[in-house]
Amino acid sequence: MGIINRITKRTLQGEMGRTLLTIFSMGIAATLVIATLVGFTSSQNSLYQKQLKDTGGMQFVIRNVPRENAAKLRRNTAFQKSLAFAELGTMKLPKSIDAYGDPAPLVAMDKAALRQLVQSQLAVGRLPRKSTELVIPTDIALNQSAIGKTITAQTQSGPKRFTIVGAINSYHTFNSAYLWITFTNSVTSAKTVSVAGALTDVNRIRSRLAALAQQAGVKRPKESVLFNERALSLLGAGTNLTDKATIVGLLTIILTIIGLAAGMMIYTSINLSVRSRIQRYGLLRSIGATPKQIRQLVYREGLILVLPALLLGYLAGIAGLAGVMAFLNQRFEASGAGIHLYLTMSPWPLVGSALFMILITFLASARPAARASRVAPLAAVRDNMSTARLRQRHLRPGLWQRLMPTPLSQLAAKNYRRNGGTRWTMIVTLSISILIFVGFTSFARSVLRDTSNDYGGSTDIIVQANNTAMAGPLKQIQALPNVKSAIAVKHDSLELKKRESGFDSQSVDVLVVPKTVFAQYFNNRITLLNASQRRMNKDGQRKLYWLFPANFTGTLTFAHNTAKPITIAQTVAADTPILRSLANYSGGIVISEAYYADLFKGKRKNPILQTGFYILLKDRKKHVQTMAQLKQIIPTSNSSDQVANNEQNTSILTALQVMVYGFLTLLSLVSLSNIINHIFANLLQRRRELAMLQAIGTTPAQVTRMLGIENSRLFLTSLIWGSVLGTALSLMLRQQLGGAYETAFTLPWLEIAIVTLVLITVWLIFEWVSYRMIRKQNIDHWLRLT
């Protein structure tokens, strides 16, 4: 062991309290770095796996592969998994099916391909079981009520009759590879096939697949490969450069914030250590130590401290992430969110965390090391460098000192004024810590909140269907054992000839309901259903606005040629879940089916196609069983389970809150440990000064009060600056959202109150520790030190 290593070891052992405090503080910083990088990688992989579920775990589809080359292509070692399905060419659809992109591409899949690729995307109906059954896109199936119909299409092999048995999501990322799907037992009869697969490594995935497709005899290989872009973009392998820049930018911002907080903490600790050892460095210089060796001494001290801190960070960071992910996975599973978090232990975040902490430690040690290397031997031995350099303005009594009522408080004010360098370093450090906490936490609290009740509660289940009668299905729905109440409605829209006073728009919705609903909820009276919306006013506050006058009655005349005037008998506020759902947040005129038919005499050019059923449940825990029963009543419906959606949204919101607040908590702990380290290191440096006060008769309680006065002013100044700047940061971040997120800016009183409480707690702890230390210290020992 070299002489520098021995000196470093003795130094750290001789100041064990400060050493352990520094290791603990650096350990919190290392925990934050490791948790951030490993958590970021784990989130990427978890979201990537979720997006892959939409395409059965497949990253891509290679189309137009000659059938005889498909098997060889799939045996390539680069493939993690793959499957093939037959391409049957295009088919000419009958006039009864109005499809965009006619003729439609037809493919045939076996049971394995159907289960893996189509099952997760199936919106209505079932998978085909025979070659005469067909799955089609949802927008065509639902808009034209096509499920269950039989059509004759002109295929490559001639006319063929298909029965439409299901509909697949039209907007998945492989939508041009398969949307019109039938069944087959084998792909051997097809001339070309599509090969869906996933590679073990996504690096250069596009160029590699283009080369593989070309080797397999695919014409125009680049155009023939479709990708799950949403999944690949999460790994930075997408074509959108903005997504890549967003990932890199987000990670850079996070690491910059962590680096600043950790760097300030490490710099403060090492800088205070260097200042307390000025005489020692001078003595080392006087016996022949070179400036380079002094710098090495400081650097090695920092690196020795960071190694156990890294070990502490790995244990705490990974264990904490595993616990948080286990908790969130339980929430996701209970809510049916379809999300699972995977703890991803890839090498780059683990190694990168260590390199990042070592780099921050090296950079934070640079200035203290340079300061230590410039120590002049004689100046250090005489203790000239430990004496504060005071200017004339420091010697003049300040306003605060003149206002202090007692000599002890005046001495506290004098010390505060004369310790300018240390004081401002602590104020800046603490203010930045408060700025980060108040700014980011208040912004996160305003954005990461449950917005489900902003416009009032909704019904539990919404069922949308096309060309469906209302009265019959509504009666069946109301008869279900778990249905508390249900309504049905069809929406139309009419233009007013003259916009009435208090009306929000020239256009007014017409809500057509069955006679039973018209009688039960509106007493057979034509009603203006008044809905409310929350909007931002000029002051940035969210206010409640009603779309119509509160008590409007009278006749409304419309611009439509065949529409006769409608006389409104009453105005009712949409203030219950049923009525809010009926109003659809835009309100409207409620009339019966019979009145609507009489209004237009059957001459409406654009008849209503969409029927909505809004249902409240007796027991929300049984929403899954009720959804299954509703599917039996209206098999071609597009249903929305609001109970499940709310549970999923709550789980996702909880996950975001845990991750964001966990990050901010660790970041705040790093900053707080920096302040505590700074305060106590400063206290240790002043022990001789405090012993001198005790020697002239000042009691330990009086000395402690003096220190408390100094630190209370420091904390108060930092609290004011940090709170003001943090509020400004929160406002700036809120303004960046613009109108995309309807949150009004409010002053972050909660965050300021939390910071105030923490500072008071730290101040009280400091007072208690200071009193105990001063009461027990050996005055003679400290007075003899020169």
pLDDT at 527: 93
Query: Which residues, 6+ apart, have CB-to-CB distance to 538 below 8 Å?
Result: none
CA distances from 288 to 3, 9, 284, 366, 378 (A): 13, 20, 7, 22, 13
In a domain, 585, yes or no: yes
Transcribe 448-513 into DSSP letters. Answer: SS--TTTT----SEEEEEES--SHHHHHHHHTSTTEEEEEEEEEEEEEBSSPPTT-S-SEEEEEEE
pLDDT at 7: 60
Q: Answer yes or no: do 173 and 301 share one domain.
A: no
pLDDT at 282: 76
**Overall average pLDDT of the 265-269 stretch:** 77
Q: Answer yes or no: do 585 and 512 share one domain.
A: yes
Model pLDDT for residues 33-49, shown as the tens digit of each residue: 898 889 888 888 888 88
Q: Is the peptide bond before 405 cis (omega within 30 degrees of 0)?
A: no
Query: Which residues, 6+ apart, have CB-to-CB distance to 100 below 8 Å?
Result: none
**Of 425 and 718, which is predicted with more confidence?**
718
**Any idea which of 355-359, 365-369, 656-660, 682-686 has the lowest mean pLDDT?**
682-686
pLDDT at 597: 82
Listed residues 169, 193, 227: the one ending a domain: 227
The range of the structural domain enclosing residue 185 comes to 55-227
In a domain, 458, yes or no: no
pLDDT at 784: 66
Which helix (DSSP H) or strand (DSSP E) does residue 82 occupy?
strand 79-91
pLDDT at 41: 87
Q: Answer yes or no: do 121 and 67 share one domain.
A: yes
* Beta pairing, strands 532-536 & 588-592: unpaired
pLDDT at 1: 47
pLDDT at 189: 78
Confidence of residue 664 (pLDDT cuts 50, 70, 90): confident
**Overall average pLDDT of the 779-786 stretch:** 65
Question: Cα–Cα–Cα angle for 582, 449, 54, nearest 5°?
Answer: 75
Model pLDDT for residues 195-236, shown as the tens digit of each residue: 999 998 888 888 899 999 999 999 888 888 999 888 888 887
pLDDT at 785: 58
Q: Is the pLDDT of residue 10 over 70?
A: no
pLDDT at 407: 63
Distance, CA of 161 to CA of 176 (rounded, Å): 23
Distance, CA of 624 to CA of 613 (rounded, Å): 17
8-state DSSP, 94 = P
Q: Answer yes or no: do 4 and 113 share one domain.
A: no
CA distances from 467 to 307, 369, 430, 445, 747 (A): 70, 80, 66, 44, 51
Q: Is the pLDDT of residue 106 over 60?
A: yes
Distance, CA of 238 to CA of 45 (rounded, Å): 14
pLDDT at 160: 92
In a domain, 407, yes or no: no
Q: Is the pLDDT of residue 538 over 90?
A: no
**Overall average pLDDT of the 133-160 stretch:** 83
pLDDT at 72: 92
pLDDT at 401: 56
Confidence of residue 180 (pLDDT cuts 50, 70, 90): very high
Distance, CA of 344 to CA of 404 (rounded, Å): 59
The owner of tokens 């690949």 is: 232
Listed residues 227, 257, 286: the one ending a domain: 227
Q: Answer yes or no: do 679 and 598 share one domain.
A: no
Q: Answer yes or no: do 683 and 772 share one domain.
A: yes
The residues with which 152 forms a beta bridge, in sequence order, are: 161
pLDDT at 390: 47
Q: Answer yes or no: do 260 and 373 share one domain.
A: yes
Q: Answer yes or no: do 655 and 547 share one domain.
A: no
pLDDT at 197: 93
In a domain, 393, yes or no: no
Burial 202-231 (b: 16+ CB within 10 A, else e): beebbeebbebbeebbbeebeebbbbbbbb
Q: Is the pLDDT of residue 114 over 90?
A: yes
Q: Is the pLDDT of residue 454 over 60?
A: no
Burial 282-304 (b: 16+ CB within 10 A, else e): bebbeeebeeebbbbbbbbbbeb
Residue 628 is which amino acid? A
**Overall average pLDDT of the 414-427 stretch:** 65
Burial 15-37 (b: 16+ CB within 10 A, else e): beebbebbbebbbbbbbbbbbbb
Greatest Cα pair distance, the chain, in angstroms, is 112
**Any idea which of 389-393, 560-564, 619-623, 757-761 has the lowest mean pLDDT?**
389-393
In a domain, 1, yes or no: yes
Q: Is the pLDDT of residue 469 over 60?
A: yes
Q: Is the pLDDT of residue 474 over 60?
A: yes
In a domain, 111, yes or no: yes
pLDDT at 130: 92
Q: What mean pLDDT is reported for the chain?
A: 80
Q: Answer yes or no: do 252 and 356 share one domain.
A: yes
**Any idea which of 103-107, 419-423, 463-467, 646-650 has the lowest mean pLDDT?**
419-423
In a domain, 394, yes or no: no
Residue pair 611/468 in contact (Cβ under 8 Å)? The answer is yes
Confidence of residue 385 (pLDDT cuts 50, 70, 90): very low
Q: Is the dihedral of CA 445, 532, 466, 514 positive or negative?
A: positive
Q: Answer yes or no: do 293 and 341 share one domain.
A: yes
Residue pair 312/23 in contact (Cβ under 8 Å)? The answer is yes
pLDDT at 461: 87
Model pLDDT for residues 273-328, shown as the tens digit of each residue: 777 777 777 777 777 778 888 888 888 888 888 888 899 999 998 998 898 888 88
Listed residues 194, 227, 260: the one ending a domain: 227
Residue 5 is which amino acid? N
pLDDT at 214: 92
pLDDT at 243: 63
Q: Answer yes or no: do 297 and 439 share one domain.
A: no
In a domain, 456, yes or no: no
Q: What total number of domains does the chain contain?
A: 4
**Of 726 and 645, which is predicted with more confidence?**
726
Q: How many residues appear in the chain?
A: 786
Distance, CA of 589 to CA of 593 (rounded, Å): 12
Burial 640-664 (b: 16+ CB within 10 A, else e): ebbbbbbbbbebbebbeebbbbbbb
Q: Is the pLDDT of residue 337 over 70?
A: no
Q: Is the pLDDT of residue 740 over 50?
A: no
Q: Answer yes or no: do 60 and 38 share one domain.
A: no
Question: How distant is the alpha carbon of residue 230 from its chain centre?
Answer: 17
